[in-house]
Structure 1
Amino acid sequence: MGITFFIIYLMLIVVLSLVHGKKPITKEGFLVNNRCSSASMVSSSIVASCVGASATIGVVGLAFKVGTPAFWWLGCGAIGLIILSLFVAKKVRSTNAYTLSQIIENLLGKKASYLASIIIIIAWTAILAAQLTAAAMLIEALTGLKQPFALFIGSVLITLHTLAGGQESIIKLDRIQYLIILIGLIVTLLWLVPSNPTALNTIEFEFINEEFPFTRFLYFLLILGGSYIVCPMLYGRVLSAKDEKTAQYGVLKAAIAIAFISMIIVCIGLFAKGLIAQDTPTDLVLTTIIKNIFPSWFTGLIYIILLSAVISSADSCLLTAGITLSQNIAQQHSVLFTRISIIVLMLVALLLTFTQKSILGFLLMANDIYVCSIVTPLFIYLAFSKTKDDIHATFATSGMILTGLLGLTASISANYYFAYLGIGVSILFTLLSLLPKHIKFTTINAMEKK
């Protein structure tokens, strides 16, 4: 039954991709959906993009291990989206840029934009690798194929859909994907409740606990929440909105929806306790629940719903990295070159999957590097309406390099304190970059003249 559902889903994606592929696509349509997205399109696409591997397979496993504090994986993202809506969304949309890197170039110059683009490509390719890992697990469960073949099929499926129409096709399909994800998660939870009726008596509603201490919550708030405030993938949705108010309202609606979905996903993980072995690996909790608890006909349908969630996030990651590579690194603005960039980065992400890093591991590695180096300065510059004339670009760029290295160190060492140090150093360099223009050091003058 599972393979039947998969073939139907595969055919649907292929048909939709071919339909979009036959239509003439402009640069404006491929990059920002012709800037005609409504608030509901913006919000549904943001949710569909964010509720991928981390928010399904990853968070269910985290809830199974640590309990209700797992809410903060997406909960902190919802907080980040609220901040984005209140302080930044209108200003981002008003730039009429195509990418986050273009906004950075307008503020800090080409060197900073080039550096930020490299960081974005590395981070979002790592996130794509996480989505590919999740997609392969689901395809393997649906079809019985071994992981290498499942990875290949998943990567082709994601690449084909992304190549077809870019942002235009992704945003349109995300409206369907959003409904599929929401309904699927609710049905999954409702099915689990009668299977484990005593679970309600054992659930402790905690914000933090011994397995999820305050330091981890703070890490989620700063790193995960920060990645939603200044995010090249989400900014693609903001820049596609038809006007500034639409962008702001769409982001706010997405924040509310993501908080609600987070509660549903955490409950799925909580109700799994007692139904499967306690030592089940985190990344296998959800698939084990589905395999052991649901009837065979329903199992295939749930796998397809989860695969839909993963693909809707993966195609956005791939498009974000591909657009950044073509538009900001290679400085090639044609749709053809962007499509070539997308294929190249998919191959890189495939190679990363063979490092055997966990889904959450890939995501945290990407966020460590990105948030430490880019989020703090960009949020301050945008929220407080700073322009290129207000900023010492040398301080800003130097801070990005140093804090990016601290973020990488945090990821490699699995030590949160390097991430905290990275954010602290980022704040320091951002403040230095905002010193009045007449306050300049000799070394800075010399560097800027070069």
Structure 2
Amino acid sequence: MNIIFLITLSIFLILLIGIGVMDSKKTRDFKAYSTAGKNQSLSAVVMTLLATTIGASATVGVADTVNQIGFPGIWWLLFGAVGLVLQSLLISEKVRATDADTLPDLARITVGRSAEIIISLVIVISWIGIIAGQFVAMNGIITFATGMDSKVLYAIVAAIVIVYTFMGGQLSVVKTDKIQLIFVVLGLVACLAYLYIFKGDNNAAIASNIELLNANYGPINLITQFFVIGGVYFLGPDIMSRNLISKDEKTAKKSALLSGIIFIGFALVVTLIGLWVKINVPAESMGKLGALMYVISIVPKPLSILMGLCLLAAILSSTDTCLINASTILVKDIFKKDDVKLVRIAVTILGALALVMALSGRGDILTLLTGAYSVYTPGVIFPLLISILCYKKKKLNKGLWISGVIVGGVCGLAGTYFGNTLISVGIPAILITNLSLIGMGLSLIFSCLSIKNE
């Protein structure tokens, strides 16, 4: 597989670079580079939205989670689908109608400059970790598929992602997302069919293990993931960036709804692959391989190559979106510059920082993503939701609103990174475990209190 995969990967990456080169001539102004001209059609937005949401966590991470805890691992993705549907029903049209360029820009429009700054800082800092998480997963796939644990090869592939994003901006991201999504769908569906048709001797046992809750995943996990994970899909910067590049409000609304529905099907596909591994493969047979990596090792060679490209495409399609959005936010919302050159510099710097973080080996994909989400979701989701719902209807007390962001974010940060320290000073473990939920509740209270009665 090594040589064939390397050749196929090279062709794939050359295609992505080619798109970046062609689009570099079309993205000389800030609007085209950072928001893809704000004129994307329904089909384009749906495909790029799905490609953005189907990343390393939604494939490699979820399959491994299902292999560990069983079918309830599906809730990560189902709550993503719920978040997209709720976004469509509640806020998609309102957000697009503001004509904001980024999520912090939306905060500026609905609250003020101070809100823009604090939301920008949360996103840029947190999203370096998310990009690093995607790079970590990418390294795992490249190492397995090529049989070479080469940091040079890994860095080259990561650099290519940075380069085509650097050259074509958001417009290239939208186009490459379409190609990457096709690889993802073909690879996962073909893999599912092979496992359940050609290796489906134990399908009855798999069916008997389909359950929504079990000893490894209880009601408290359900509640926590609904808010922490569902919240990111409902009002996360990368998800909402697809709203902001839509050609109009109706396109934004329809794209979120269609993506949410389609995402349920994707959730079933990934979960059933993970469950097949859990039921059919003893842990000792897998060694250090993850669920999807093990599957790649047992399927026929053509399918293994397709699966390798499938997973790599899933990761690249999320990485480039995170990278261009975080870079645009850094330049536009923090430095207040609508400058393509500066955004390109930011793409290079943030991409390099994420790569260094990934190469340091600190954390797996779900650890890095959950850490970032646990800060963003408690601090930002409810305050921003309140500001959107109140826009042009009610005025907000900026001090109370920002306090909600800070208190929620600090709770999420403390619960994720300082749990042991808090336990050592006598704080009950149950409070620490639920600090993200507590933070969300406090941010909701502060943001509701910020609404002025006139």
Q: Deviations over 1:186-229 (max 9, x none)?
A: 00111112224214324322111111111111111010001111
Q: 1:130 to 1:251 in 2, by over 3 A?
A: same
In the alignment, does 2:205 pair up with 1:201?
yes
Contact preservation (8 Å) 1:226, 1:375: yes
| Counterparts of residues 170-185 of structure 1 (less than 5 Å) | 170-185=173-188
> Which of 323, 326, 342 is matched with 1:337 structurally?
342
Distance 1:98 1:302 in 2: 35
1:388 deviation in Å? 8.7
Distance 1:388 1:371 in 2: 25
Residue type of the partner of 1:407?
G
1:150 deviation in Å? 3.8
Contact preservation (8 Å) 1:229, 1:379: no
In the alignment, does 2:238 pair up with 1:221?
no
1:267 deviation in Å? 0.5
The aligned residue for residue 167 of structure 2 is: 164
The aligned residue for residue 443 of structure 2 is: 426
In the alignment, does 2:379 pair up with 1:373?
yes
The aligned residue for residue 260 of structure 1 is: 265
| Structure 1 runs not aligned, ≥5 long | 438-450
Distance 2:25 2:98 in 1: 31
Q: 1:274 to 1:150 in 2, by over 3 A?
A: farther
1:141 deviation in Å? 2.1
Residue type of the partner of 1:377?
P
Distance 1:245 1:281 in 2: 49
In the alignment, does 2:293 pair up with 1:287?
yes
> Which of 318, 321, 326 is matched with 2:323 structurally?
318
Contact preservation (8 Å) 2:79, 2:225: yes
Residue type of the partner of 1:221?
F
Residue type of the partner of 2:118?
L
State, as a whole percentage, how many aligned pairs show the same letter.
29
Distance 1:29 1:106 in 2: 21
Contact preservation (8 Å) 1:90, 1:247: yes
Contact preservation (8 Å) 2:77, 2:267: yes
In the alignment, does 2:257 pair up with 1:240?
no
Contact preservation (8 Å) 2:35, 2:101: yes
In the alignment, does 2:96 pair up with 1:84?
no
SS at match of 1:390: coil
TM-score normalised by the chain length of structure 1: 0.92
Residue type of the partner of 1:341?
A
1:96 deviation in Å? 0.7
| Structure 2 runs not aligned, ≥5 long | 420-431
1:14 deviation in Å? 2.0
Residue type of the partner of 1:423?
M
Distance 2:355 2:289 in 1: 18
> Which of 347, 356, 361 is matched with 2:367 structurally?
361
Contact preservation (8 Å) 1:123, 1:366: yes
Distance 1:355 1:397 in 2: 34
In the alignment, does 2:52 pair up with 1:64?
no
In the alignment, does 2:433 pair up with 1:416?
yes
SS at match of 1:273: helix
Distance 1:65 1:17 in 2: 39
Residue type of the partner of 1:74?
L
Contact preservation (8 Å) 1:61, 1:282: no
1:389 deviation in Å? 5.7
Residue type of the partner of 2:7?
T
Distance 1:389 1:407 in 2: 28
Contact preservation (8 Å) 2:27, 2:171: no
Contact preservation (8 Å) 2:47, 2:177: yes
Distance 2:218 2:319 in 1: 30
The aligned residue for residue 386 of structure 1 is: 391
Residue type of the partner of 1:131?
Q
TM-score normalised by the chain length of structure 2: 0.92
